[in-house]
Amino acid sequence: MSNETVPQEEEQQTATLPFGARRAVVIAVVVVVLGSAAFLLSLWQAANAPLERQVTAAAAPSDAVKDREVLAAGGGIVGANLLRAERALEQGRIVSPPGANVRAYIDEILAIDPGNGMAIGLVAKTKTVLGTAGDDALAKEQWGRAELLFDQIVQFDGKDADAKAKLALAKAGVGGGAGQP
């Protein structure tokens, strides 16, 4: 009986080897096909990317174009600075970087037109946005974040007593977590 067992084992080994080899070939072919598909996809994306950028650029005018449109519409430097201040607020540039922030643009507007209602309204809007976020940070005991937000209000409007009081509260870190975000 032991003689009969040996040929069967040899047959099993030879039968397993071709199957394993076939499996390796199939895996290699799948890898090559997937690699080729990925390469072709990257080529297609690269070929179509400039077209997408052109369409986007045409749909959304640049900041310089918007500024020229405001100036051409008779908005002058005040209108252009109002537009820049709105953009700076959307981007979170309240008091920095120097010269390119909400405070700087509003200061330029108010130097030209001290009673400009849109600039005064933008001051109120900016303080409201920062104050709401600061109050939320205080409620969540995010002392560092609240300190940053109320500090921006104080830098923006040094006469705001409420912001000064909340800044002091945030610096004290009522929960003992001063400076934590």
Give the tens place of pLDDT for each residue, 102-136: 999 999 999 998 988 888 999 999 999 999 999 99
* Contact residues for 67 (Cβ-Cβ < 8 A; gap 6+): 80, 83, 84
pTM assigned to the model: 0.54
Query: Which tens digit of pLDDT belongs to each residue from 37-68?
Result: 666 656 555 555 544 343 334 434 455 555 55
Position of tokens 């409420």?
A: 162
Query: Which tens digit of pLDDT belongs to each residue from 132-149?
Result: 999 999 999 999 999 999
Indicate the domain borders of the chain: 1-60, 63-172
Cα end-to-end distance, the chain, whole Å: 79
Report which of residues 47 and 29 the model is more confident about: 29
